[in-house]
Amino acid sequence: MMKSILFTTLFGSAAAAKVATLTANNWKNEVTDSGKGTFVMFMAPWCGHCKALKPDWEKLAKKNKNNEAVTIGMVDCTQEEQLCGQNGVKGYPTIKYWKAGKTSSIDYQQGRDLGALSTFVENTFKASCDAKTKKGCNKQEISFIEKNADKSKADLEAILKEKQVALKEKKDEKKARDKVRREEDKVHKKAETALRKAEGILKNMIKGAGGKSEL
């Protein structure tokens, strides 16, 4: 209880600042299954750097309160120790982000002023294409929508299945290429090691040969 009071006193109301208060209870809805990207600051109320970052983090959240592509969130690690541990948090503040639909986080390693944070959000989180309103759609996506606009539900489901099969094939091809590349790298590394050893041995032999002359 005291920790909650301390958090509210030092950091104010996250809801009022449009910062999403993330906990183990709402993590799945707010992050994993939200359909949006998530930009999260893991903090502790006693952390001086967290207090310094707080005003810009709240301004960032306010600026993006209507952004359908990202949620700006905060986790109090004194209240959510297990959640912070599961996300590899070892110091404060730690900033991580999740792309929409992804369960694995990426460490944020850029500037921590409002300008740098805002630029990162703008460049990283893009609203997905809305087939109904065409909001967030590029020219290619709009063309695809218009091309299939008059198709029946059954036809659309057939196209979806076709695209999913093609996508899986592409992923499998990439995995296969990556495997071949890893094997090739191993072969090259082994060959380089052998050549390096031969080079060292030959230099040593030449040095030991000294002034020996050929018979």
List residues with catalytic annotation.
47, 50
Q: Work out the average pLDDT over 75-86.
A: 96
- Looking at residue 84, its pLDDT comes to 97
In angstroms, the CA 94 to CA 74 distance is 10
pLDDT band at 215 (very low <50, low <70, confident <90, very high): low
In angstroms, the CA 181 to CA 89 distance is 33
**Planar angle of CA 17, 21, 25, nearest 5 degrees:** 160
Strands (DSSP E) found in the chain: 20-21, 37-43, 70-76, 94-98, 106-107
Considering only CA atoms, which of 58, 93, 83, 78 is closest in space to residue 5?
A: 78
pLDDT band at 17 (very low <50, low <70, confident <90, very high): low
- Looking at residue 8, its pLDDT comes to 47
> Cβ(73)–Cβ(40) under 8 Å?
yes
User: Of 4-18, 62-76, 107-121, 140-154, where does mean pLDDT reach its minimum?
Assistant: 4-18
Maximum average pLDDT range among 3-17, 81-95, 133-147: 81-95
Asked if the peptide bond before residue 55 counts as cis, ω within 30 degrees of 0, the response is no
Question: Residue 198: is its pLDDT beyond 80?
Answer: yes
pLDDT higher at 52 or 133 = 52
pLDDT higher at 46 or 213 = 46
- Looking at residue 73, its pLDDT comes to 97
In angstroms, the CA 46 to CA 117 distance is 23
Q: Work out the average pLDDT over 53-82.
A: 95
Give the DSSP letter of residue 53: H
User: Of 32-46, 82-96, 105-119, 127-141, where does mean pLDDT reach its minimum?
Assistant: 127-141
Q: What is the pTM of this model?
A: 0.61
Question: How far is C-alpha 130 from the chain's CA centre?
Answer: 23
